[in-house]
Amino acid sequence: MLWVKSFHIVFVASWFAGLFYLPRIFVNLAMVDPSSEAERARLLLMARKLLRFTTLLAVPAIGFGLWLWLGYGIGRGPGNAWMHAKLALVLVTVAYHWACGRLLQRLASGADTHGHRWYRWFNEAPVLLLLGIVILVVVKPF
């Protein structure tokens, strides 16, 4: 079980690292001068590669988490309401990841209307999600 837990932690940390940086690229894309096609193309390439890599990290993070939950019974049974809250935050994280992909599509097509300030706020969501998830797992407040 400790091997599974270790891999889960490593992949979750790596997944969130990508979710921390990808919206930062969006900030830069929103700020790029429209006449700078090379810079825009470079940022879009970076964002696409990071999204693909981050998605590849999310899959084992979720898989190892499910293994811990369903295979070893971590968080199951009475007195484990914290796990339901954690799973809800994981679903929000998956939705955020999906939203990053949609935003990247809109940025690439030129259809996005968000400014760099909006993306700066959007960039804070994974920090709050990770904070909530870690508190729920470590403190188990309910």
**pLDDT tens, residue by residue, 45-56:** 999 999 999 999
pLDDT tens per residue, range 119-129: 999 999 999 99
Mean pLDDT of 22-41: 96
What is the value of pTM for the model shown? 0.95
29-33: long-range contacts at Cβ-Cβ below 8 A with a sequence spacing of 24 or more?
29/107, 30/107, 30/112, 30/114, 30/115, 30/116, 30/118, 30/119, 31/116
Tokens of 68: 């811990």
Instruction: Kindly state the average pLDDT of the residues 109-134.
Output: 97
Distance between CA atoms of residues 85 and 83, nearest Å: 5
Q: Where are the domains of the chain?
A: 2-139
**Res. 79: pLDDT tops 90:** no
- CA 123 to chain centroid, in Å, comes to 10
